[in-house]
Homo-oligomer: A and B are copies of this chain.
Amino acid sequence: MNTPIKVLLYEDNRDLREGISFLLQATAGLDLRAALPHVNNIRTDLAAHQPDVVLMDINMPGMTGLEALPIVKEINPNIQVVLLTVFDDDERIFQALRSGASGYLLKNTPPGEIVQAVFDVHKGGSPMTSTVARKVLQFFQQPVKPIVADHDLSARELDILRGLMKGYSYKLIADELGISLDTVRSHIRNVYDKLQVNSKTEAILKAMKEGWVG
């Protein structure tokens, strides 16, 4: 990999922009194509500079980095975008990640690591401030839903419900569990009572919305 990495920087704060620019320029292997104060001409910028990596502040006058991100990924999904921001609220982070950001650094990140991050994303990594990473992880762990509440369903009744949620007919469920069709009916009746519904569909929808099972 001898060709330098083409970088585009967006940052409205002049001091910061020039500071980071200086570092990027001074780093071997990087080719800073432009350092711009706003992202309003993102399309022409991209066309003109064909960057490999875009470093982008979120909060800028005019279009924000969050708005520009989908445009970048739409034009060329191979461009790696690293967001640079002072905000670490969940909403912004997840929106950024969903839109295709490859990295998310807080502005208190040491300059050296910002440079490192450029190399990181370019070789397939995802530089993240540790607090951001933690938030992402918590997203996976949260499936420990707060409300495992009521249920009231017995083990067998859950078996039956799971059957329903697989799209099975009563007969199939009966076969699967090795019990009689009438018994399945029996259980289903009780499930309906407890869930306060009166059809297969409602039961399934409720079960899914409620989270438990499946």
Task: State which of B128, B131, B143 has its C-beta within 8 Å of the C-beta of A98.
Answer: B143
Task: State which of B137, B164, B197 has its C-beta within 8 Å of the C-beta of A97.
Answer: B137
For residue A136, CB closer than 8 A to chain B, the reply is yes
Chain A interface extent, by class: 35 or more
**A128's closest neighbor in chain B, by CB?**
B133
| Partner-B contacts on A (CB < 8 A) | 94, 97-98, 100-102, 120, 123-128, 130-131, 133-134, 136-137, 140-141, 143-144, 164-167, 169, 197, 199-202, 204-205, 208
Q: Given A167-B205, A204-B204, 14 more contacts at CB 8 Å?
A: A98-B140, A98-B143, A101-B137, A124-B131, A124-B134, A125-B133, A127-B130, A136-B136, A167-B197, A167-B199, A169-B199, A200-B200, A200-B201, A201-B201
